Structure 1
Amino acid sequence: MPKWLKISLKIIAGAVLLIVLVLVGATMYISFNKAKVLKMVNEQLDKSVDGTLVIGDMKPNFFRGFPDVSLTLQNVLIRDKQYDRHKHTLLNAKDFNVSINTMALFRGTIDINHIDISNAAIDLFTDSTGYSNTAVFKKDNKKVKDNPSESSSSTQLKKFTLSNVTFTVDNRQAYKLFKFSVNDLSGKMQYPDSGWRANFHLDVLAKSMAFNSKRGSFIKNQKLEGDFVAGYNEGSGKVNVSVQPLNIGETPFKINAVFATKDKPSANFDINIVADQILWRRASGLLAPNITEVLNRFNISKPMDVTCNLNGSFGGGDGGPKIYVTARVKDSKITIPGGELDNCSFNGIFTNNYVKDKGYGDDNSAIKLIGLKGSYNHLPFTIDTGSIINLVKPIATGNFKSNFPAADLNYFLEDNVAKFANGEADMKLRYTADIVDYKINKPVIRGAIVLRNTDIHYIPRNIKLTNSSISLNFVGDDLILSNIRLQSGRSIVNMNGRVNNFLNLYYNAPEKILLTWQIRSPQLYLGEFLGFLAERKQTPAIKSRANSGNVVDQLSTVLEKGKAEMHMQVAKVYYKKFLATDATADLLTTDNGIIIKNIGVKHAGGFLKMNGKMMQGKKLNNFAVNTVISNVNMREFFVAFNNFGLQDFTSENLKGFLSAKTSITGGITDAGNLVPNSINGNLDLSLRNAALIDFKPLVSVGKFAFPFRNLKNISIPKLDGHFLVKGDMITIKPLQVSSSVLNVDVEGVYGFTRGTDIALDIPLRNPGKDSLITDKEELAKKRFKGIVLHIRAHEEGGKMKIGWNKNHK
């Protein structure tokens, strides 16, 4: 062995031996002077304690703190002077290991380099008045500064270890409760001139992290594990902490925190948390129960990037902390109460301090979704900024835009109200809505909805429209409908409309909605709109949104209960054989019918005016109308109206021009046909230049009374009559018929199917030349000159019998 090596080994061995001897000596010193050393430790610690400090026992550990002397303090107890009142022990440690600088110990002072606490409980308690058991630590160091000889040199902790330690911060004044079960907290500290730096490993179970104990705990029962870097700057009084990553459960987080302690009764904190690609339910499960309960009503299918900033105080009474969360979501399915949003992307923000200086709570919270795009029931949409403000009474606002094929509305309406085909839809809306049970409720809308060149099947009335366009404009509280083109078969309608106070009535009083229409049409075929005569079909309810205040759910109710006032101008109106021109009308729809006002049409060379109403029924539809007919061609008029349901008296029996006033009621089928024998009312007729052709009752009478006269074509220059119609019976008021063949006074009842009983007074003289008599008095005298036949035509046994009228007076 070389000489230099031998010398080196001897030196090392001597040094080791010296150290061992020193440690043995220190250990023996402590062992033989246990009471003295224990007293020194108690005195050193008692200088900082204003209360009870108990150290049950002390044992030296030879190699544990090498090269320092390691002391194990057992059953260490620290309590403040008011313990008997609040029953919270500040420190209760079964094992409190302290490594003491050996050389300092021989100088008669205590310099602690390492503290190892295990099997302990630390409880920092503050009562409702603000008193804290940390008052056990003295805060007045003036005496020490004035008399330095009474104090040892500053103790600098080099290492620390906590294991199996329960750490609690219970602040009843600020409603804060932090409780951690520490499995392992170990680290090293350095002391540059600016303060201190520490590196430590943390392995704890968070049993409670309640910034407001009334609302519950964040990250409850979650394991926290990570390697921290911390530092304290004496100048700023701030503690900086960083960990990358901190595993909370199985999820890694990047965390940076700043705790401001200078001139503060308790630490203010600012914690920044970053989580990359975390699932929604995982993130919500880390928050306080009041927030988790809300968030779990929603879900986002794919992981998202989240940042969170917590800012507040561990001791203040502000109810914090201030929370600011951002999230980035991309191409995810979002589940919301009552539906799902597909292919969603957005940047989200949550804050519980929406209005500055109004506190940190649900009532001052807001959620913002920036650049939201996705689809709902196949309808693509974008919302530039959507907000939900005040989570106690939440209000949603946003700008909604969408453009899509009109047929995609069928997914949205779920085959209720209407079905669409062809064309496109465009929506640009600004909405404000309450949120009830986390669903959009009764939105107030501004903007426009436009449908272009689409086919619409309005299901409740079975009305089919083709190549139609609609523009709905929400202006203030009003709804303005413009540039509307509807086409059903050959009918084309151009419309503009308005509903005043629409948004206030839509949900609260749909029966008060009045839609005022201005309608123009080049041609209208009424038969294509007979669906309005049929009873409204009930559409199946959408169970998932029933009674939700949803705008779509309410649409069917509004269409059913709302009313429409229509002012129409139609160039040509067709109905079966009926053709009218230059038609005008004012119509008002009701819950179960239509009120008809000021209908005016040109027809059969004359003019018709009508007022009345039509009411829907389950078996038939009832109408009541007052009509004025001016100088229409009788034959065309009867053809157009299908002879008004008459069988024995038809257009083939008539010739001439008709003017009339009617006030009648009756029934009409869903197909638009008059119900036989349903007409009741009054009928005043005025005929000019008329002829009665082959009217069977008169022809039958002629065979009996005038076998040599032709009663198949009777010209009637003028005839005024009054009739009462009741079902299949027509009561003929006394009527004078002056014709080219004979004069007849008629009175009685004509029955279409039964009950005919007509009295006829027929002068036998031939009136063929009466038209040459211009003197009315002379004409009246000649009317009944000569023989007059008094004949009765009546039904008997189902057969018509004609004979002498024995009841004539």
Structure 2
Amino acid sequence: MPNWLKISLKVLAGLVLLVVLVVVGLSLYVTFNKAKVLKMVNDQLSKSVDGTLVIGDMHPTFFKGFPDVSLSLTDVLIRDKQFARHKHTLLNAKELNVSVNTAALFRGTIDVNHIEIKNAAVDLYTDTSGYSNTSVFKKDNKKVKNNPSESNSSTQLKKFTLENVDFTLNDQKAHKLFSFGVNDLRGHMSYPDSGWRSDFHLDVMAKSMAFNSLRGSFIKNKRLVGDFKAGFNESTGKINVQATPLNIGDDPFDINAIFETAKSPTNFSIHVAADKLLWRNAGNLLAPNINLALKRFNLSKPIAVTANISGSFGGGSDPLLYVTAKTQGNTLSIPGSTIENCNFEGIFTNSYVKSKPLGDENSVIKLIGLSGTYNHLPFKIDTGSIINLVKPIATGNFRSNFPAADLNYLLQDNVAKFTNGEADINLRYRADIVDYKINKPLVQGAINFRDADINYFPRKLLLKKTSFAINFVKNDLILSNIRLQSGRSVVLMNGRVNNFLNLYYDAPEKILLSWQIKSPQLYLAEFIGFLSARNTTPTKTGTTNSGNIIDQLSNVLQRGKAEMHMEVDNLHYKKFLATDTRADLLTTDDGIILKDISLKTTGGSVRMNGKLTQGKSLNNFAVNSVISSVNVRDFFYAFDNFGLTDFTAENLKGYLSAKANITGGITDAGSLAPQSINGRLDLNLKNAALLNFKPITGVGKFAFPFRDLKNIAIPSLDAHFDVRGDKIIINPLEFSSSVINMDVAGVYGLTKGTDIALDIPLRDPSKDKEITDDAELKKRRFKGIVVHIRAHEEGGKMKIGWNSNHK
């Protein structure tokens, strides 16, 4: 071995031996001078304590902090002067180990390089008046100025360790409660000119992180494990803390925090970020008032989340929260439904209006670029917001474009079924949220349908190639550019409901839809479903809205009313054709009111008012009508002879004017119910003829066998009838014709009960055809022999004979 190496090893061994001897000597010194050293430690620590400091015992621990001298303090207790009142001990440590700088100890001072605290409890308490037990550490600045040497003994801590330490910060005035169970906290510190730096490992159980204890705790009962870097800048008074990552439960987070100690009270700002975080896990990290809202929803896949939490350790307000979230192609579960392929960028803050206090009432959730598929309907909301978590209000712009048939999943065959066509929705909405469901939305914007085929169930109506636009303007509903096609019928419509949005939820029975309807051709048989009672589910009484949009729509369609102002160029019903039809119709709970109906038909015109009342098996109608100069044969033919079998269009020709005030029944198929008509009929015939009418020809065979009663010309006839089901009461009338004159009265039975009296002069009216004087004709009318005949039914057969009852 070279001499230089031998010398070097001897020197090194001597130095090690020297250090060992020094440490052993110091340890022996402490052991034999325990009282003196304990007093030195007490005196040094007491300089920063304004209260009670108790150290139960002290002994050296050989080589633990080599080359420093290590002291183990047991049963260390620190209390402020007000302990007897508030009962909160600042520090109660069963074991507190201190490593002291050896050289400083020889100089008679204590320089602590390492503190290790085990099995301890730290309780930082502030009462409602603002008094804190941390006042035990307050210094007397005057003493420091008068005796500067005291400030020269300040300790620079190099290392620190905490094991099994309960830490609590309980601020009753600021309503803050932080409580941690420290399993392991160990790190070291350095002191550059700017302040200090620290690296440490943290393993704690977060029992409470209540920035406002009135709201509850963030990160409650979660384990936090991570490695931190921290630093303090004396010039700015800021402490910076960083962890990459900090595991909270099973989720890793990047943490950056700033504490501004230069301000009183200390301000803080904490930034938290996670690339992949499950919705449920994110909600469980927040205060209960926020988590309560969030847990009603769920996202199946992890999302990217950031959170900024800032505030002050003083006062009693909530911290400022600003949370962002981002996801693509996720599945969002909401109360009562699911949104597939969900995409959005979300923002939550409790400072929606900057001038208002932080809190739930001033909170907002914004969903930017929200898109997805709801009940097979694709949609997009540019920016949707939920304002005020106490009384939530949802706002946003809703857009969607989809095949109209996709609505069937939403309607569930309760209202209508769509085939073909497209739908386009562009709505701005504002709505209350009740039990986390959209309730009573107020909307502005438009819904457009193009070329859709619709089966409208309440009226059994099938519409083809239907297009229409629904516009919400302020509180009104405007329906425009509506084109309906059912079979050969084409209907063009525009409608309006005033105050629609106010009535839709609270008073649907007051909704009145005003329609302007035009049609080049309308076949009533294709709309015969309107005669049947509406197919509806039972409506809910009261004004409370169920929150189900389809239930409410069905309710409105059932209870609302409509007035229709119609103009139809050509109106068809079975054999009936009318032109230039004008009508006002009003739907009611049980039927339709007909007002000011006018039309042209069979060479004349008809005006009508009335009402149709719908029933389960039969629809009842009441009609007042005025008929002017219609072709009587065509008129009877068009209306299937009004249910008559013995008196039909084949028996008539001429022009009919009439007034009718009748009631009756009509089936769901649009046919007159037999024996249902009642009322009064006043008619006038001009230039008419009675052809092959059996009651007259029957009488003719008996009384006038040599006259042609099969073709009776009637220049004019005024008649008045009362209709009673299957019987027509013929009020006394004068029948004057080219073949026969007669006075007629009695009852004509459509099925049975005919009993008609006829007073017939035997004089042939053709002999008086040259006379034009009405008075002379009337005088001659009953000149000569008059026979009195009775036509009546007996035993199911018609009998014609002399009227023995005539007086």
* TM-score of the alignment, normalized to the shorter chain, above 0.5: yes
1:380 partner letter: P
Determine if the alignment matches structure 1 residue 415 to structure 2 residue 405.
Answer: no
* 1:568-607 matched pairs, under 5 angstroms: 568-607=566-605
State yes or no: 1:137 paired with 2:125.
no
TM-score when scaled to structure 2? 0.98
Q: What residue is the counterpart of 1:110 in the other structure? A: 110
2:98: which partner in 1?
98
3-state SS in 2 of match to 1:217: strand
Does 1:147 pair with 2:151? no
Identify which range, 655-664 or 745-754, moves more after superposition.
745-754
Unaligned 5+ residue runs, structure 2?
none
Distance 2:80 2:756 in 1: 122
CA distance in structure 1 between the aligned counterparts of 2:505 and 2:805, rounded to whole angstroms: 69
How far apart are 1:630 and its partner, in Å?
0.7
Query: Which stretch shifts more, 795-804 or 209-218?
Result: 795-804
SS at match of 1:530: helix
Q: 1:181 to 1:541 in 2, by over 3 A?
A: farther
Distance 1:227 1:73 in 2: 28
Indicate conservation of the 8 Å contact 2:212/2:316, yes or no: no
What amino acid maps onto 1:228 in structure 2?
Answer: F
How far has the Cα of 1:191 moved from its partner? Answer: 0.7
Are 2:51 and 1:29 equivalent residues in the alignment?
no
Q: Offset of 1:150 from its aligned partner?
A: 4.7
- Matches of 1:33 and 1:148, distance apart in 2: 28
Q: Residues 220-619 of structure 1 correspond to what in structure 2 (within 5 A)?
A: 220-265=220-265, 267-318=266-317, 320-538=318-536, 547-619=545-617
2:238 and 2:261 in contact (8 A); partners too: yes
Partner Cα separation in structure 2 for residue 21 and residue 801 of structure 1:
155
Cα distance in 2 for residues equivalent to 1:524 and 1:87: 91
| SS at structure 1 position matched to 2:59 | strand
Gaps spanning 5+ residues in structure 1: where? none
Q: Does 2:693 correspond to 1:704?
A: no
Contact 2:405 2:417 in 1 (8 A): yes
Counterpart code for 1:141:
N
Counterpart in the other structure of 2:788 = 790
Return the letter of the residue paired with 1:221.
N
Shift of 1:621: 0.5
Aligned to 2:198: 198
Distance, in Å, in 1 between the alignment partners of 2:735 and 2:150 is 144
CA contact (8 A) 1:416 1:540 kept: no
User: Residue 507 of structure 1 contacts residue 549 of structure 1 at CA under 8 Å; is this kept in 2?
Assistant: no
Q: Deviations over 1:108-166 (max 9, x none)?
A: 21111110000000001111221111111123232023113456522100000000000
In structure 2, do the counterparts of structure 1 residues 412 and 49 end up closer, same or farther at CA, with 3 Å as the change threshold? same
Q: 1:227-272: CA deviations, max 9, x gaps?
A: 110000111111000110011111110011000011413x211000
State the match for 1:38 in structure 2. Answer: 38
Cα shift readout 1:639-696 (whole Å, capped 9, x = no counterpart): 1001111111111111111100001111000010000111111100100111111211
Q: How far off its partner does 1:551 sit?
A: 4.0
Structure 1 window deviating more from structure 2 (130-139 vs 455-464): it is 130-139
Letter in 2 for 1:772: E
Residues 475 and 355 of structure 1, relative CA distance in 2, 3 Å threshold: same
* Counterpart for residue 208 of structure 1: 208
Contact persistence 1:585–1:596 (CA under 8 A):
yes
Q: Aligned partners of 2:554 and 2:26: how far apart in 1? A: 93
Cα pair 1:417 1:539 within 8 Å, conserved = no
Partner of 2:243, secondary structure, is: strand
Worse-superposed segment, 791-800 or 390-399: 791-800
The separation in 1 between residues aligned to 2:767 and 2:470, in whole angstroms, is 70
Listed as ranges, the matches of 1:738-749 within 5 Å are 738-749=736-747
8 A contact 1:442–1:550 mirrored in 2: no
Which residue does 1:627 correspond to in 2? 625
Tell me if the contact between 1:439 and 1:548 (Cα under 8 Å) persists in the aligned partners: no
Cα contact 1:578–1:640 (8 A) shared by 2: yes
Write the distance in 1 (CA, Å) between the matches of 2:122 and 2:260. 22
SS of match in other structure, 1:731: strand
Contact 1:216–1:290 (CA under 8 A) maintained in structure 2: yes
Aligned runs of 1:719-738 on 2, under 5 Å?
719-738=717-736
Does the CA contact (< 8 Å) of 2:509 and 2:560 recur in 1? yes
Q: How many residues align?
A: 804
- Quote the residue 1:17 is aligned against: 17
SS at match of 2:219: coil
Q: Secondary structure at the match of 1:99?
A: strand
Q: Deviations over 1:489-530 (max 9, x none)?
A: 000011112211111111121121212111111110000000
Q: d(CA) in 1 for partners of 2:410 and 2:150?
A: 84
Q: Is the 8 A contact 1:631 1:657 kept in 2?
A: yes
Secondary structure class of the residue paired with 2:17: helix
What is the identity, as a one-letter code, of the residue corresponding to 2:485? Q
Contact in 2 for aligned 1:443/1:551 (Cα 8 Å): no
> Structure 2 CA distance, aligned partners of 1:691 and 1:640?
18
Aligned to 1:11, the other structure's residue is in SS state helix
1:684-714 Cα distance to aligned partner (Å, 9 max, x none)? 0100111111211222222222223232222
Using the alignment, how far apart are the partners of 1:424 and 1:357 within structure 2? 46
The CA deviation string for residues 267-313 of structure 1, in whole angstroms up to 9 with x for no partner, is: 21100011001111111111112211111111112111111000012
Determine helix, strand or coil for the equivalent of 2:217: coil
Deviation at 1:536, TM superposition (A): 0.9
Q: Is the 8 A contact 2:506 2:545 kept in 1?
A: no
Mapping of residues 683-698 of structure 1, within 5 Å: 683-698=681-696
Within the candidate set 756, 765, 768, 1:767 is matched to 765
1:87 aligned onto 2:99: no
- Give the Cα–Cα distance (whole angstroms) in 2 for the partners of residues 691 and 283 of structure 1: 93
Aligned to 2:69: 69
SS of residue in 2 equivalent to 1:769? helix
Distance in 1 (CA, whole Å) between partners of 2:150 and 2:217 is 46
**Deviation string for 1:356-415 (max 9, x for gaps)?**
132221110001111112111121111111111111111111111111111111122222
| Change in 2 beyond 3 A, CA 1:765/1:423 | same
Cα deviation, 1:153-199, whole Å, max 9, x if unaligned, reads: 22100000000000001111122111000011111101111110001
Match of residue 678 from structure 1: 676
Give the TM-score of the pair, scaled to structure 1. 0.97
- The one-letter amino acid of 1:216's match is G
Please say if residues 439 and 545 of structure 2, whose CA atoms lie closer than 8 Å, have aligned partners that are also in contact: no
Structure-2 separation of matches of 1:541 and 1:625: 31
Kept after mapping to 2: 8 A contact 1:53/1:77:
yes
* Paired amino acid for 2:311: G
What do you get for the CA RMSD once the two structures are aligned? 1.5
1:507 is paired with a residue whose SS is helix
Q: CA deviation at 1:733?
A: 0.8
Equivalent AA in structure 2 for residue 257 of structure 1? A
Contact 1:168 1:177 in 2 (8 A): yes
* 1:74 partner letter: T
Aligned match of 1:187: 187
Higher mean alpha-carbon deviation, 158-167 vs 283-292, is at 283-292
CA distance, structure 2, for counterparts of residue 745 and residue 633 of structure 1: 25
DSSP-derived class of the 1:42 partner: helix
Does the 8 A contact of 1:219 with 1:285 survive in 2? yes
Mapped to 1, the partners of 2:591 and 2:422 lie a distance apart of 32
Identity %: 71
Residue deviations 1:762-783 (CA, integer Å, cap 9, x gap): 1112112233222223222222
Alignment partner, residue 171 of structure 1 = 171
Letter paired with 2:793: E
